[in-house]
Amino acid sequence: MWPKDVGIVALELYFPSQYVDQTALEKFDGVSPGKYTVGLGQSKMGFCNDREDINSLCLTVTHRLLDRYKIPPNEIGHLEVGTETILDKSKSVKSVLMQLFEPFGVTDVEGVDSTNACYGGTAAVFNAISWVESSAWDGRYALVVAADNAVYAKGSARPTGGAGALAMLIGPNAPLVFDRGLRASYMRHAYDFYKPDLRSEYPVVDGKLSIQCYLSALDNCYQKYCEKFEKKMSEKVSLRSFDAMLFHSPYCKLVQKSFARLAFMDFLKLKRDEVLEKSPDLEKFHGLPPEKTYFDRDVEKAFMERSLKDFTEKTKPSLFIANLVGNMYTPSVYSGLVSLLISKGIQELVGMRVGVFSYGSGLASSMYSITVRGGDGEEGLKRLLNALGGVRGELEGRRCVEPEEYTRVLDVRERNCHTVPYQPEGSVEGMFPGSYYLVEVDEMHRRKYQRVPCEE
């Protein structure tokens, strides 16, 4: 017998306390005004100075979740990190997080790291669900941590960076339940974005190819999800079947285009007479092979217009954090879930079906869905929403850094990526209470951290 209602019991989000404004960055980079803010749909971009790295991001978010929800470390039986920010290569970030468990005598914790670009968090979620639903499950929670420092070399991809970490407690009787048997994946070999230079934090990225890969993965996952749904529920699926649709967000404009893409996929499934009756103006697009339309401006424009109202209702609320922090890589799609939750009241949320599309270059992608149940009456959901109550305030409380300073900070990181011994020079002033920061890297590349005191 499977445990009932396996899903997300608790959520914690962390992002750095500083950001660069995208309008200022447009000016600094000498691109035309509006390119980053309108063309990419981004307002602000969070970033880390040399005090933060993947270990500190994960330590911060994990410690915050355990504290906020008062979860004793011995109640975690599986812990897995999804990340593409690699420091010690053979040594997992999960092993670093064991520092939060060892002092309590807790070492019986399964799981290591999952890596495939922005998809690692979802791979970790799937593994956590599998553990809870397996014969190895011992009644404890699984904890998934997704975190990345998303930085690009100078050039067109740089404004699509970001940084952040997210922790999710997975267990039964959850307020946010993973729909069983409704998962579709699309996995292929592609060199759209990868990190072959192990001395650098920056990826090699073929921007246009990465967009094409993302859109083709979306088409394929959606088709497969619909097939599985229709088979299981004997019910036709379209965007109407979802109350909200979340996407991995490299930049918000691509998400709006992706929503329009799903409207196009729904349209392609219509019978010709339905098209003639309901949307005769779009008839010329009916029957087009999807793979020939990734960069078709007419299709894009027509379906962005047609789906604007639904996009505004079902997806725009989930882009709140992505617009203000940027692409966090693995946490990106889950920050969409946080944005959605903080945009609505409990009564609006209960009963919602939320579609999730997760994409990681290289390429790995899945579509699945979550039903908002409430958990223990509505207590579980109330607790979750209360815990996220500080997110807006933290976003507003961040420090705005000029593009000159942002660029200098990235240069410092670039120069010292693997320098040892190393003493970080960045200020820890203004970091959020409870944040971990790097104190030193010794000659054997061993890293030491301290924590900003928590407020009383």
User: Among all residues, which ones are annotated catalytic?
Assistant: 84, 118, 248
The residue among 298 and 348 lying less far from ligand ACO, judged by its C-beta, is 298
For ligand ACO, give the closer residue by CB, 53 or 192. 192
Q: Decide the pairing of beta strands 244-247 and 447-451.
A: unpaired
Position 224, amino acid:
K
Q: How far is the CB of 119 from ligand ACO (least distance, A)?
A: 10
**SS3 letters for the chain?**
CCCCCCEEEEEEEECCCEEEEHHHHHHHHCCCCCHHHHHCCCCEEECCCCCCCHHHHHHHHHHHHHHHCCCCHHHEEEEEEECCCCCCCCCCHHHHHHHHCHHHCCCCCECCEECECECHHHHHHHHHHHHHCCCCCCCCEEEEEEEEEECCCCCCCHHHCEEEEEEEEEECCCCEEEEEEEEEEEECCCCCEECCCCCCCCCEECHHHHHHHHHHHHHHHHHHHHHHHHHHHCCCCCHHHCCEEEECCCCHHHHHHHHHHHHHHHHHCCCHHHHHHHCHHHHHHCCCCHHHCCCCHHHHHHHHHHHHHHHHHHCHHHHHHHHHHCCCCCCHHHHHHHHHHHCCCHHHHCCCEEEEEEEECCCEEEEEEEEECCCCCCHHHHHHHHHCCCHHHHHHCCEEECHHHHHHHHHHHHHCCCCCCECCCCCCCCCCCCCEEEEEECCCCCEEEEECCCCC
CB of 16 or CB of 162, closer to ligand ACO: 162
Residue whose Cβ sits closest to ligand ACO: 39
Q: In this complex, which beta carbon is closest to ligand ACO, that of residue 56 or of residue 330?
A: 330
Nearer to ligand ACO, 96 or 252 (CB): 252
> Minimum CB separation from ligand ACO for residue 178, in Å?
23
Report the nearest approach of ligand ACO to the CB of residue 254 (Å): 6
Q: How far apart are CA 124 and CA 115, in angstroms?
A: 9
Q: Which is nearer to ligand ACO, 207 or 426 (CB)?
A: 207
CB of 322 to ligand ACO, least distance (A): 11
Nearest CA to 325 among 15, 61, 49, 55? 15
Q: How far is the CB of 161 from ligand ACO (least distance, A)?
A: 9
CB of 199 to ligand ACO, least distance (A): 20
Which tokens in the block code for residue 223?
């088709």
Is there a contact between 164 and 58 (Cβ–Cβ < 8 Å)? no
Nearer to ligand ACO, 193 or 285 (CB): 193
Q: Using CB under 6 A as the criterion, which residues of the chain lie in contact with ligand ACO when the complex forms?
A: 32-35, 38-40, 118, 156-157, 160, 193, 205, 207, 210-211, 214, 250, 254, 327, 361
CA distance 389 to 332: 19
The least CB distance from residue 185 to ligand ACO, in Å, is 17
CB of 60 to ligand ACO, least distance (A): 23
Q: Which is nearer to ligand ACO, 92 or 327 (CB)?
A: 327
